[in-house]
Amino acid sequence: MLALALTTAGLEWSSDLVTGRARQDGSPWLRTESRHFEVHCLPALVPERDSVVRSAERAYDRISRRLNFVLATKVPLVMFSPSGQLTRDQVVAYAVSDEVAPQQPHRSRIVLPIAGHDAQLDALIVHELAHLLVSEIILPGRGGDGGVPRWVHEGLARYMAGVWGDDDKRLMGELVVSGHVPALSQLIGSGGFANARLNDLIGHAAFDYIEGRWGVAGIRRFVNALIVPRVDRTYDGVVDLTPAEFDAAFLQYAVRRFTPVAR
């Protein structure tokens, strides 16, 4: 699994010891640690490392507070430049190797491309870290998606990032006006949309709705209901609504929120 992390204060650096060991082993990768991360990068990205760690720690703080969850181990985070000396396949091969973290017991990790504006980096880190932490709640120590529909996984990650672009709102507006907003309780797999982004946007809107009506605690209750083996009554057990009632309430919310965008 590829993932990410966050906080602004209390960084616990140990770069001298670990970096020195990496060089003695002949590896080009340098390793340092922060409060919640084990950060790996090539020497060319050392100037970017501190800002990445600050962003990752901020993200960790944001997501862990909303989910009321902290991993017992640090998250391996492998930084790389898409235009650097190694190909993406080589970076991924390193990221999943025992040099980063032993395969047993399972530890999820993040592979992070460093390119673009800082705001884009922040959103990417939040998105990927949300995937990692939610997966660790659902399937602790095992990895994988637990059979959860894409709208849940991607919607939660987008909700944590909290970014609604103009094009995103336009697509949701068009979907609402078309009268084809799907019943979330029946939406499985990737949703079968011609534009896969719609599936993710619907999920983002759904978690905005859950927080708006039941608060941040409602998000964690929903995630708890996804833990494997999961409960059968996800909706009425979490939000006191039948699946049909939840679907109808979400449709009303989507119409109120997004219809003006399409006008």
**Residue 38 β-bridge partners:** 33, 76
Task: Give the mean pLDDT per block of 10 residues along the chain (263 residues).
Answer: 29 35 68 97 95 96 95 95 92 95 88 83 94 91 83 95 94 94 90 90 97 94 86 77 93 94 48
Beta carbons of 132 and 181 less than 8 angstroms apart? no
Backbone angles phi, psi at 33, to 5 degrees: -130, 145
Q: Where are the domains of the chain?
A: 15-138, 150-262
pLDDT for 13 equals 31
Q: In Å, how far from its chain's centre is CA 47?
A: 25
**Residue 35 β-bridge partners:** none
Architecture of the domain spanning 15-138 = 3-Layer(aba) Sandwich (3.40)
Task: Say which residues have a Cβ less than 8 Å from residue 221's Cβ, sequence separation at least 6.
Answer: 214, 238, 239
Query: What six digits make up the tokens of 188?
Result: 């499985």
Dihedral angle of Cα 8, 6, 14, 2, to the nearest 10 degrees: -160
pLDDT for 234 equals 77
pLDDT for 141 equals 80
